[in-house]
Amino acid sequence: MSEQDALATIKGDIENNPVFLYMKGTPESPMCGFSAQVVQVLKTYGVKYASRNVLEDWEVREGIKKFANWPTIPQLYVKGKFLGGCDIVSEMHRKGELTGVLQDLPKS
């Protein structure tokens, strides 16, 4: 996959899914602790989300970092906007701020 194809894939993922998580591994089998932590936070809210394993495609893995100008993975997008990585998502959860962000979204 070319860099241009990867960016088109990323744009499609984010535009076509109300909640999208770029992560290492899958929700059923996260491949890093930070990805596992974001999956656990999302489970708490019961929100339906799609995800992409960045370990399966180097161009997507590097492309998502450029797309959001954010150097780390996981990255969570809600309603087409970059919400943050593990630290931000965890902090928002701890403060109760995710409830408002995720309240009107489809449940799993």
**pLDDT tens per residue, range 46-90:** 999 999 999 999 999 999 999 999 999 999 999 999 999 999 999
Both tokens of 42, joined, read 């999302």
* Fold classified for 3-99: Glutaredoxin (3.40.30)
Buried b (16+ CB within 10 A) or exposed e, 25-34: bbbeebeeeb
- Band of pLDDT at residue 10, cut at 50, 70 and 90: very high
Does the model's pTM come out above 0.85?
Answer: yes
